[in-house]
């Protein structure tokens, strides 16, 4: 929501009037002067404009903090028909077949409602889809989350977006989530989330050949089968989580098949795929303090690699295990994954979180239980050690 400023006002006044934390208001309006002139458009995060006749159903706790309409002017042609109403519930339902279009639509909704977040592309997929990152927070500690490295694990994107939806509301309204107060996290942590690393693959799994955009070789890779539910790779038939220079040669030598396929093929060389390169570049440029990559399935997580993991990783692993009930596994016989490379490259904590248990792709009906057990772990990733 936007309002028109009056001469002599300041952001602190609007923070008090709308009961919005000042850091969120400042980050929503980074170029606003200390003393506002007339006519400046000020973004008020966490509010929506609702038609006046609908406002009767809004409780006294929800709407506009006792403000009289004469005290501000809305940036709306039909101001008299609308009132500002505080957002009190999540803005969308993530419990759906979460494809790339759903991601873009929901990111747009969040960016408009919570103007203190930064939503941007960090690169493009093989088919030219933007790989989107959400970034917010003021802290010195930087924590990164990602989902859908593997196409048929698209439920990880839904989990991340459901969490983001709830987390931003809780920060804006100074609420707690999983027993943790959220606004202090905004001040302590810089959060990075890439909800869908592999948008081409996700759309192929959910929509079939129409999502291949004329790339007919995927049908050959899939053995002529038009059902792509078991597809893990990107649209080139390369497993993006076997693409990183952390003993990639070992995976290349022992992996089957030896050519592009629905799963497991590590590529012709490390970082051959634009999606893998985008995540590598992001990690190198942002100096993350820890990363959590969401996958399915197994109700366990992996936190070690080659002895490069720091002592802090053990402490975090114990916390994650306690909060989620997931089994902490230090080492497995696997290489070339994103968290493997991150641990090896930066000597910082990295985690591969295997959500749920069953056969991929996990059914949408499992989303509520997966989210319930994962939420405390996601929150601990922000809170522990920061």
Structure tokens at 368: 């509520």
Query: Tokens in use for 60?
Result: 């006294």
Both tokens of residue 369? 């239980």
Angle, CA 309 vertex, CA 250 and CA 331 arms, to 5°: 50
Is 244 within 8 Å of 86 (Cβ atoms)? no
Output 176-181 pairs: Cβ under 8 A, ≥24 positions apart: 177/375, 177/379, 178/375, 178/376, 178/378, 178/379, 179/376, 180/379, 180/382, 180/383
Question: Given the structure tokens 């002139």, which residue do they identify?
Answer: 37
The catalytic residue among 133, 322, 354, 373 is 354
Burial of 285 (0-12, 13-18, 19+ CB in 10 A): exposed
Q: Known catalytic residue: 354?
A: yes
Which tokens go with 37?
């002139």
Which residues are marked as active site? 354
């Amino acid at each position: 929501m936007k309002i028109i400023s009056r001469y002599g006002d300041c952001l602190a006044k609007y923070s008090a009037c709308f009961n919005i934390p000042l850091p969120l208001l400042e980050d929503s309006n980074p170029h606003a002067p200390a003393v506002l002139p007339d006519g400046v458009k000020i973004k008020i995060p966490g509010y929506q404009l609702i038609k006046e006749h609908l406002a009767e159903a809004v409780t006294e706790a929800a709407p506009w903090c006792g403000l009289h309409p004469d005290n501000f002017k809305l940036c709306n042609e039909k101001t008299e028909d609308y009132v500002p109403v505080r957002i009190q519930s999540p803005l969308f339902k993530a419990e759906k077949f979460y494809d790339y279009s759903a991601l873009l639509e929901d990111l747009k909704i969040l960016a408009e409602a919570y103007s203190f977040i930064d939503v941007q592309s960090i690169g493009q997929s093989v088919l030219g889809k933007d790989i989107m990152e959400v970034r917010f927070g003021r802290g010195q500690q930087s924590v990164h989350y990602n989902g859908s490295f593997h196409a048929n694990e698209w439920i990880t994107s839904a989990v991340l977006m459901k969490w983001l939806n709830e987390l931003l509301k809780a920060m804006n309204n100074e609420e707690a989530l999983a027993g943790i107060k959220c606004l202090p996290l905004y001040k302590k942590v810089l959060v990075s989330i890439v909800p869908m690393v592999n948008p081409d693959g996700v759309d192929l799994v959910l929509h079939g050949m129409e999502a291949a955009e004329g790339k007919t070789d995927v049908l050959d890779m899939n053995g002529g089968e038009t059902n792509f539910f078991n597809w893990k790779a990107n649209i080139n038939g390369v497993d993006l989580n076997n693409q990183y220079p952390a003993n990639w040669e070992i995976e290349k030598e022992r992996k089957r098949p030896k050519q592009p396929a629905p799963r497991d093929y590590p590529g012709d060389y490390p970082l051959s795929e634009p999606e893998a390169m985008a995540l590598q570049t992001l990690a190198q440029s942002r100096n993350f303090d820890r990363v959590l990559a969401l996958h399915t399935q197994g109700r366990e997580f992996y936190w070690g690699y080659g002895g490069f993991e720091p002592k802090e990783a053990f402490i975090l692993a114990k916390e994650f295990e306690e909060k989620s009930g997931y089994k902490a596994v230090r080492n497995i016989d696997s290489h070339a994954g994103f968290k493997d490379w991150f641990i090896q490259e930066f000597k910082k904590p990295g985690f591969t979180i295997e959500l749920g248990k069953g056969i991929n792709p996990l059914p949408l009906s499992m989303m509520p239980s997966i989210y319930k057990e994962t939420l405390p772990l996601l929150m601990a990733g922000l809170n522990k050690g920061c």
